[in-house]
Amino acid sequence: MKTKITAAIIGLILAGSVQAKDHNVDIKFSKGISKKFRKAMDRDLSVLERIDFKKEADQETLKVLGLDSLNADSATKWLEDRVQVVIEELSSRKLEKSIKIEERYFSFENAGVNPNIEIPTSTPSGKGVTVMSNLGAALYFAGKSAGSLFSFKVKTGFMKSETVKFSSPRAGLIMIGPGHFMERFDYDKNDRKAEANSYNRLATFFHEARHSDGAGKDLGFFHAVCPDGHDFQGLNACDRNLNGPYAVGAQMIKEFLKNCDNCDDEVQERMKLAYLGSTNRIIKVTKTVAEIDSFEVSMLQTTLDMKEILLPLLSGAELEAAQKEIAEIKAQILAIAEREGKIIEVPSKYVDASPEGRRIE
Amino acid sequence: MLMRHLKVEGLNKKTKITIALIFLTTAFFAVVFLLNKSKSNLPSAKTNLDSIQTSSSKKPENVDHTIKADMHVHSDKDHTHVIKVTKDGVQNQSEIWETTFFNNYLDETLSSLPTLKDLENLKDKDVHHDPEFVMEAGLRLGKIKKQVKLNKDFAPKAIEFYTNCANKEESFTPIRGLCLANLMIMKKEEGVEVDTSKFPKAVVDLAKKAMEFTF
């Protein structure tokens, strides 16, 4: 009798802690995510599982995502392969405290080969609101730089937790923030639960999931600095490849829009603008300077290299001034190169998205 | 009294307490249920209010929804609803806009389109996605597109708007691209081809991307 009552009580507690969800997508969620946000994400994933991609996918979409065909199953699997756990927004301090060293002197693939992290020449003021970010790729890179395997424990339920080991960018640890659910970013303002709003958030999810790919110099598909003349010039808000996160996000918006039965003219126009917004951040061509036999250019290049090395040590007004100087030096070098006919236009490519390493339990 | 009733041979104290608790819980829920049942027999205040309001307002289906010049019209903060206020009271979102209102909306939209200067005020995390003011511009462009579809008479003014929007140098490139795409589509319907050489390459490229959609 006693055993039966105890079992019944435990059953009641467990039943209360199980979140009802309408999908089978194999992505875990932190217990710390608010119920409201969790419900929205479950709804988004259930939309993804049910979506009927009746219109044939663009060849460009298949190429960017590296798929043979696009349907609910392949799209879901694509996301599952790149996202393991979703956590709530954490401060840098809390995150730092929660990261553990799982193993020192871990053997990383492509040891010594690091991605090219471009330094912005413009720094926005203030922090803004978090939408979504891929911590997995960043923490893998941090661990690789330190030579240690990092890990992070996430509470996913009552007496349940998941330890994420950053053995690959495919660790797939995604952090969401309130920006991901803000009404002001909705495509469909008339109905918060409209599928179009799920498509909006899913496109962001796919964008972030792309950061879980890449190896060596292309690890994490880190963003590039937008070139001069671009709307976001000087900011780390572009991609210097044709299948990076912005390309993924853009193509998913396009496919969702093509297949949206409930999107009226207003919503369609907004989604088109979102598609163009992402597309605009894909740098198609990069102007680089070929070798010039010029003392002036050599001196400028040396000065530029020195200033770029010191940049991470600066902040505030000093940082702004240094960034301005760097931009001016680059412009001078480009002007000389153009005069000498020594500009090369390097087209961006479809980068090998195969990830470095693999997930380990 | 309850404990006396539970005088069953073999039952220990713990078991008796458990059974007593179950009885009390059941009794509690029974009382709550009975109380709720009795409350539901009273007419609710909301039902009364609803019936009063229904009797004094016209049913939307019988009312002409076109906005006329003598009406006071405003939109809510998100431009989600265009609200008309007439002598009969507040009425709901209109399907087709009146010409003056549409033309004013075009002028307002053109002057409120975000500029590249607005991007300078963006915060760090906001640069990685479309800023809010771009989403708002999308909202307005969506409403314009819808109205042009509903009323072909709006086409000439819309063409003028899209031309000005595409030509607006200080504006955000994707917005210019979308405007150029709409301009090219509308002009094509008139059998006219737009000279895209006057526009920056980035704007033309985006317009071509927008035209890949067949709607």
**Could you tell me which chain A residue has the CA closest to the CA of B120?**
A124
For residues B140 and B93, which has the higher predicted lDDT (pLDDT)? B140
Which residue from B78, B128, B175 is facing A273, i.e. has the nearest CB?
A: B175
- A159 and A302 both lie in a single domain: no
- A214 and A323 both lie in a single domain: no
A→B interface, C-beta within 8 Å: 1-2, 5, 123-131, 177, 179, 184-185, 189-190, 204, 223, 231-232, 235-237, 254, 257-258, 264-270, 272-277, 279-280
d(CA B2, CA B213) in angstroms, rounded, equals 76
Contact between A185 and B132 using a beta-carbon 8 Å cutoff: yes
Domain residues for A336?
291-341
Residue B82 has a pLDDT of: 54
Q: In sequence order, what are the residues at sequence separation of 6 or more whose Cβ sits closer than 8 angstroms to the Cβ of residue B129? A: A131, A179, A185, A204
Q: Along the 361 residues of chain A, how does pLDDT read in single tens digits?
A: 766 666 555 555 554 444 457 899 999 999 999 999 999 999 999 999 999 999 999 999 999 999 999 999 999 999 999 999 999 999 989 999 999 999 999 999 998 898 988 888 777 766 777 889 999 999 999 999 999 999 999 999 989 999 999 999 999 999 999 888 888 888 888 888 999 999 999 999 999 999 999 999 999 999 999 998 999 998 999 999 999 999 999 999 999 999 998 899 889 999 999 999 999 999 999 988 888 788 888 899 899 888 888 877 888 888 888 888 888 898 889 889 888 888 899 999 999 999 999 998 7
Residue A278 has a pLDDT of: 97
Across the strands, what pairs with A176? Answer: A132
Contact between A280 and B130 using a beta-carbon 8 Å cutoff: no
Residue A130 has a pLDDT of: 80
Q: In sequence order, what are the residues at sequence separation of 6 or more whose Cβ sits closer than 8 angstroms to the Cβ of residue B87? A: none
Which amino acid is located at B209 in the chain? Answer: K
Contact A203, A197 (CB under 8 A): no
Q: Which residue has the tokens 């240094």?
A: A322
d(CA A309, CA A326) in angstroms, rounded, equals 11
- Report the residue of A183, A280, A323, A345 to disrupt the B interface, i.e. the one with the largest count of B CBs within 10 Å: A280
Mean pLDDT across the stretch B168-194? 96
DSSP assignment letter at A133: E
Contact between B78 and A189 using a beta-carbon 8 Å cutoff: yes
Is residue A3 a part of any domain in this protein? no
Is residue A346 a part of any domain in this protein? no
Domain finish residue from A193, A222, A251: A222
Q: Name the CA dihedral angle for A291, A293, A296, A299, rounded to a multiple of 10 degrees.
A: 60
State the pTM of this model.
0.80
Residue B83 has a pLDDT of: 54
Q: In sequence order, what are the residues at sequence separation of 6 or more whose Cβ sits closer than 8 angstroms to the Cβ of residue A314? A: A322
Contact between B142 and A279 using a beta-carbon 8 Å cutoff: no
Every domain of chain B and the residues it spans: 2-37, 62-95, 97-210
* Among the ranges given (A288-297, B2-11, B106-115, B138-147), the one the predictor scored with the smallest mean pLDDT: B2-11
Contact residues on chain A for B119, CB-CB shorter than 8 A = 231-232
What's the residue count for chain B?
215
> Token pair for residue A257?
């829009």
B→A interface, C-beta within 8 Å: 14-15, 18, 78, 80, 116, 119, 121-130, 132, 134-139, 141-143, 145-146, 149, 172-175, 177-178, 202, 206, 209-210, 212-213, 215
d(CA A234, CA A239) in angstroms, rounded, equals 13
**Could you tell me which chain A residue has the CA closest to the CA of B212?**
A254
> Token pair for residue A351?
């980068």
CA-based max dimension of chain A: 93
Number of domains in chain A: 2
- A203 and A330 both lie in a single domain: no
What confidence tier does B18 reach under pLDDT thresholds 50, 70, 90?
confident
Q: In sequence order, what are the residues at sequence separation of 6 or more whose Cβ sits closer than 8 angstroms to the Cβ of residue A185? A: A131, A179, A200, B129, B132, B135
Q: Name the phi and psi angles at B90, rounded to 5.
A: -75, 135
For residues B18 and B173, which has the higher predicted lDDT (pLDDT)? B173
**Is the four-CA dihedral B80, B86, B89, B91 of positive or negative sign?**
negative
- A299 and A213 both lie in a single domain: no
Residue B57 has a pLDDT of: 33
H or E element that contains B51: helix B45-56
H or E element that contains B201: helix B201-210
> Token pair for residue B118?
């607005």
Residue A325 has a pLDDT of: 87
- A25 and A137 both lie in a single domain: yes
Residue B90 has a pLDDT of: 42
- Report the residue of B19, B116, B125, B129 to disrupt the A interface, i.e. the one with the largest count of A CBs within 10 Å: B129
- A315 and A180 both lie in a single domain: no
What confidence tier does B28 reach under pLDDT thresholds 50, 70, 90?
low
d(CA B210, CA A272) in angstroms, rounded, equals 7
Which residue from A232, A257, A268 is facing B127, i.e. has the nearest CB?
A: A232
Report how far Cα A351 is from the mean position of its chain's Cα atoms.
Answer: 16
Which residue from B128, B130, B202 is facing A274, i.e. has the nearest CB?
A: B130
In angstroms, the separation between the Cα of residue B56 and the nearest Cα of chain A is 27
Residue B69 has a pLDDT of: 43
Query: Does B21 score more than 80 pLDDT?
Result: no
DSSP assignment letter at A151: E
Domain finish residue from A222, A249, A270: A222
Residue B8 has a pLDDT of: 43
- A172 and A62 both lie in a single domain: yes
Query: Does B41 score more than 50 pLDDT?
Result: no
Across the strands, what pairs with A134? Answer: A174
For residues A110 and B127, which has the higher predicted lDDT (pLDDT)? A110
Residue B2 has a pLDDT of: 43
- A217 and A296 both lie in a single domain: no
Query: Cα–Cα distances in Å, from B49 out to A278, B52, B56?
Result: 49, 5, 11
Contact between A264 and B146 using a beta-carbon 8 Å cutoff: yes
User: ipTM, 2 decimals?
Assistant: 0.87
> Could you give the percent of chain B with pLDDT greater than 90?
41
